Structure 1
Amino acid sequence: MNILAIESSCDDTSAAVLTERGMQSNVIASQAIHVKFGGVVPELASRAHQTTISQTVQQALNEAELSINEIDLIAVTQGPGLMGSLLVGLCFAKGMALANDIPIIGVNHMDAHIYANFIDAKPEFPFISLTVSGGHTQLVHVKTPFEHEILGKTRDDAAGEAFDKIGKVFGLEYPAGPTMDKLAQSGNTKFHKFPQALLREGLDFSFSGLKTSALYFVQDQEEGFIEENLNDLCASVSEAITEVLVKKLKRAVEQTGVKTIALAGGVSANSMLRAKTEKLAEKMGVSLHIPKITYCTDNAAMIAITGKMKAELGEFDGMEIRPFASL
């Protein structure tokens, strides 16, 4: 089965082709226009998707050395995400499916982040997925394919949003998360102790207090303080965020008794989080799965593998499929 996948939930236009030989292409067109605004502007994102989606899909087909006539299934992000962005990808996919008489499957973007771990591996069920992105922070008990229980989630801001917003306070360009990760690698994690909310309470997360704390701390310092201590500041913030994530993950494993854990979402590319999770897995004697960096952030490859898994269960959709921003 040759699968064409399309992802356009936020500000990345992506298309991928999955065949029986594996992932043949995974093209991602990022939108640089949002940098000057310090965050994603929904209207500009949807317009950029309209401009790039056709050539992005064609490039994915070219790299896979396939034509649209050789595609057996189209998988497309149905939600959650920005409504305008979702509409562009879904309408394009429906048009291709209708014109070429190809079955279509709508994919939950958050499911896809979890099942990105199945692109190059096969985690054993049940497992706990720590799904961490700019919009979500969740501990998900994945019992069987597409049977999920959310054990904990953020009560306010997501971890990825905290990285980006605090990075903005430090004067870094959007998206600040990857830059903070690089700077933190040569910084002192003990430079300043930022708050770690709800550390001893349940499995929920909270990062809004951390953002406020970082803002007030910086405002109290003299001019030039951030520039002189940027690496240490980034390391201290990264320590505060990742420590909470890993300790909550440990608690979830203890409560469920699972033998497998996985990371998912854009923040799973963070080097400190990866290192701490690897240590946790070794200490607890559980297996760990982490997607390749290119499969952590928004991409169509994760939509393709999830579409394949849904197709194997016979879960196809019709032309009445529509986007859900809060799916």
Structure 2
Amino acid sequence: MKMAADYSSEGGRATGALTVLGLETSCDETAASVVRLSPDGAATVLSSVVHSQIDDHAAYGGVVPEIAARSHVEMIDGVVRRAMAEAGLGYDGLDGVAATAGPGLVGGVMVGLSFGKAVALARGLPLIAVNHLEGHAVSARLGQPVAYPFLLLLVSGGHCQLLEVRGVGDMTRLGTTIDDAAGEAFDKIAKALGLGYPGGPALETLAEGGDGSRFDLPRALLGRKDCDFSFSGLKTAAARLAQACETEQQRADLADAVQTAIARQLSERSDRALKAYAAEHPHRLFVVAGGVAANRTVRATLQATAEKNGFAFLAPPMAYCTDNAAMIALAGAERLRKGLVSDIDTAARPRWPLDEYSALNDPTHAPGRKGAKA
């Protein structure tokens, strides 16, 4: 198998332009993308194909793991063929293949990772196993060159973390959710309101006609001096209020209250992290990534918080907020640039923290917290 050092490298680091095929199958999107990373760090997305399974899961109000895995098996070959065709490349034009190896629904992760292994073996290419969260962490770099380090709020359906990002494989967690993620709260409350799947976008649409001031929702962790999050109390309270809503206007008002409350907590906890980060770093950039970053109210609230603290604000292009393979390809290319390639027997992981040291050694990081090992 080719290794990263074969590509005009110096000291184990590839120095030329790198073209990488990325595969993403961690949840309910089957995605493939080809990204080219230039020597100066600029990324060009040559193709990005995403097959969504929304229709397959809509009747169940959420993702069914077995249905998701079967769909990945059926779709991945065609999705990869489309991505390669749109990029105008054959496999001989690739320098590596990157695949999500976790965290996620392990049946789906295995599909993409196995396909990536097959391509790597058949074409003599290096395999790069990518942490799905690391893909989100670098996703803002798909829109424009972004220098490390930066402060990241990674906020999605399964994860809510504040991280200092110094580069791929080099991140430190400053805060995480102690129970539910913000995206999960959006989806579960949307379901309680009788909205369709996926719930987050449906709740945002409903909230446009609402006035949330009529509801007083709980504010978690006020007074705590850490940067952690908690959304379980909000989720429970809102679900109970949803049962008492009798009119469409009441439902819209509650949706607006929920959206405002989630944005407010994200802002409050991020404000603490921004102040702590600013005390040690002159380069002040606040990046927000993940599916919840597509919510306009959340974006606007966090941008205001960043600017209040003297930080530039950046979020990925909307197409790269939700799960996609371009972010996996980019993370893979950045790892390949550093000579960080994976063994062919790398296993799929349902849980995989970005900062494994603190996840394993921080006594406050109890099992069950998002991103932790069970």
Structures share fold, TM-score greater than 0.5: yes
Does residue 74 (structure 1) correspond to residue 97 (structure 2)? The answer is yes
Q: Bigger CA drift: 188-197 or 300-309?
A: 188-197
Contact 2:207 2:252 in 1 (8 A): yes
Provide the residue aligned with 1:58 in structure 2: 81
Taking the aligned partners of 2:126 and 2:306, their CA distance within structure 1 comes to 40
* Residue 227 of structure 2 is aligned to residue 214 of structure 1: no
Q: Which moved more, 1:287-296 or 1:115-124?
A: 115-124
Residue 281 of structure 1 aligns to a residue in which SS? helix
Superposition deviation, residue 191 in structure 1: 2.9
Residue 310 of structure 1: aligned partner: 335
1:178-257, aligned counterparts within 5 Å?
A: 178-201=201-224, 202-221=226-245, 224-225=246-247, 227-257=248-278
Q: Distance in 2 between matches of 1:63 and 1:128?
A: 34
Structure 2 residues without counterparts, runs of 5 or longer: 1-17, 353-374
Task: Give deviations 1:257-314, integer Å, cap 9, x for gaps.
Answer: 1411100111111100111122122222211110011101110000011111111111
For residues 165 and 249 of structure 2, the distance between their equivalents in structure 1, rounded to whole angstroms, comes to 44
Q: Is the 8 A contact 2:100 2:131 kept in 1?
A: yes
- 1:287 is matched with 312
Structure 1 contact 123–260 (Cα < 8 Å) conserved: no
In the alignment, does 2:26 pair up with 1:9? yes
Match of 2:371 in 1: none
Residues in 2 aligned to 1:320 and 1:249: alpha-carbon distance in whole angstroms:
38
Evaluate the alpha carbon distance shift between residue 22 and residue 123 of structure 1 in structure 2; reply closer, same or farther with a 3 A threshold. closer
Distance 1:144 1:61 in 2: 27
The number of residues matched between the two structures is 324
Q: CA deviation at 1:245?
A: 0.2
Which residue identity is paired with 1:152? G
Corresponding residue SS for 1:52 = helix
Moved more, 207-216 or 4-13: 207-216
1:28 matched residue in structure 2: 50
Query: Deviation per CA, 1:230-254, whole angstroms, max 9, x where unpaired?
Result: 3222111000111000111111010
SS of residue matched to 1:2: strand
User: Is the counterpart of residue 136 in structure 1 residue 159 in structure 2?
Assistant: yes
Query: Would the alpha carbon gap of residues 99 and 144 (structure 1) be closer, same or farther in structure 2, given more than 3 Å must change?
Result: closer
- The TM-score, its normalising length taken from structure 1, stands at 0.95
Encode CA deviations 1:168-214: one digit per residue, 9 max, x unaligned: 01000121101111222332232312112113312111111111101
Distance, in Å, in 1 between the alignment partners of 2:322 and 2:31 is 11
Contact 1:97 1:104 in 2 (8 A): yes
Question: Percent identity among equivalent residues?
Answer: 41
Q: Secondary structure at the match of 1:33?
A: helix
Give the partner amino acid of 1:278. Answer: Q
Please report the TM-score for the alignment, with normalisation by the length of structure 2: 0.84
Instruction: State the distance in 2 between where 1:76 and 1:295 align.
Output: 16
- Measure, in 1, the Cα distance between the counterparts of 2:63 and 2:219: 27
Counterparts of 2:223 and 2:147 in 1: how far apart (Å)? Answer: 29
Q: Which moved more, 1:177-186 or 1:111-120?
A: 177-186
The farther-off stretch of 86-95 and 315-324 is 315-324
How far the C-alpha of 1:122 sits from its partner, in A, is 3.1
- What letter is aligned with 1:295? Y
Q: Paired residue for 1:296, among 312, 318, 321?
A: 321
Decide whether the 8 Å contact of 2:242 with 2:251 is kept in 1. Answer: no
Where do 1:312-327 residues align within 5 Å? Answer: 312-327=337-352
Secondary structure in 1 matching 2:214: coil
RMSD between aligned alpha carbons?
A: 1.4
Instruction: Report the alpha carbon displacement of residue 133 of structure 1 after superposing the two structures with TM.
Output: 0.6
Alpha-carbon deviation of 1:144?
A: 4.2
Paired residue type of 2:117: K
